[in-house]
Amino acid sequence: MALVDSFGRSIQYLRVSVTERCNFRCHYCRPAQGGAPIPREELLSLEELARLLDIFVGLGVRRVRLTGGEPLLRRNLLHLIRSIRPLAGLEEISLSTNGYLLGAMAHDLAAAGVERVNSSLDSLNPATFADLTRGGDLDRVLAGIDGALAAGLHPVKVNMVVMGGINDHEIPAMVDFAWERGVRLRFIETMPVGEVGGRAVQRYVSAGEILERIRQHRGVALIPEDHPSLTGPARLFRLEGSEARVGIISAMSRHFCSDCNRMRLTSRGDMVLCLGREDRVDLRCALRAGADDAQLADLIRRGVAAKPEGHGFRPPRPEAESSGAAVGHRMSALGG
142: left (phi over 0), alpha (psi -120 to 50) or beta: alpha
Confidence (pLDDT) at 225: 85
% helix / strand / coil in the chain, to the nearest 5?
A: 35, 20, 45
The average pLDDT across 300-306 equals: 96
Q: Dmax over Cα atoms in the chain, in whole Å?
A: 61
Residue 247: band (very low, low, confident or very high) from pLDDT cuts 50, 70, 90: very high
At residue 201, what is the residue type? V
CA–CA gap between residue 11 and residue 3 (Å, rounded): 5
The model carries a pTM of 0.90
Q: Do the beta carbons of residue 179 and residue 124 sit within 8 Å?
A: no
Q: What is the predicted pLDDT for the residue at 234?
A: 83
In the chain, what percentage of residues exceed pLDDT 90? 68
The whole-number pLDDT of residue 33 equals: 77
What pLDDT, on a 0 to 100 scale, did the predictor assign at position 231?
A: 47
Q: What is the pLDDT of residues 41-83, one digit of tens each?
A: 999 999 999 999 999 999 999 999 999 999 999 999 999 999 9
Please give the mean pLDDT across all residues of the chain.
88
Cβ contacts of 117 within 8 Å, gap of 6 or more: 94, 95, 96, 97, 102, 106, 109, 148, 153, 156, 157
pLDDT category at 332 given cuts 50, 70, 90 is low
Read off the pLDDT of each residue in 107-130 and give the average, rounded to a whole number.
Answer: 98
174-229 pLDDT tens trace? 999 998 888 999 999 887 765 555 566 778 899 999 999 999 998 888 999 865 54
What band does 251 get if pLDDT is binned at 50, 70 and 90? confident
DSSP assignment letter at 202: G
Q: How many CB atoms lie within 10 A of CB 39?
A: 8
Which pLDDT does position 306 carry in this prediction?
Answer: 94
pLDDT at 312 over 80: no
Beta strands 184-188; 156-161: pairing state: parallel
Separation between Cα atoms, residue 240 and residue 71, nearest integer Å: 36
pLDDT at 229: 46
On the question of pLDDT at 324 being above 50, the answer is no
Go through 263-275 and write b for each residue having 16 or more CB atoms within 10 A of its CB, e for each that does not: bbbbbbbbbbbbb
Alpha carbon separation from 131 to 72, 123, 167 (Å, rounded): 22, 10, 11
Residue 236 sits at the vertex; the CA angle it makes with 234 and 237, to the nearest 5 degrees, is 150
**Domains along the chain with CATH numbers:** 3-334 (3.20.20.70)
Helix segments in the chain, DSSP class H: 46-58, 77-84, 102-112, 126-133, 138-150, 171-181, 194-200, 207-218, 228-231, 283-288, 293-305, 331-334
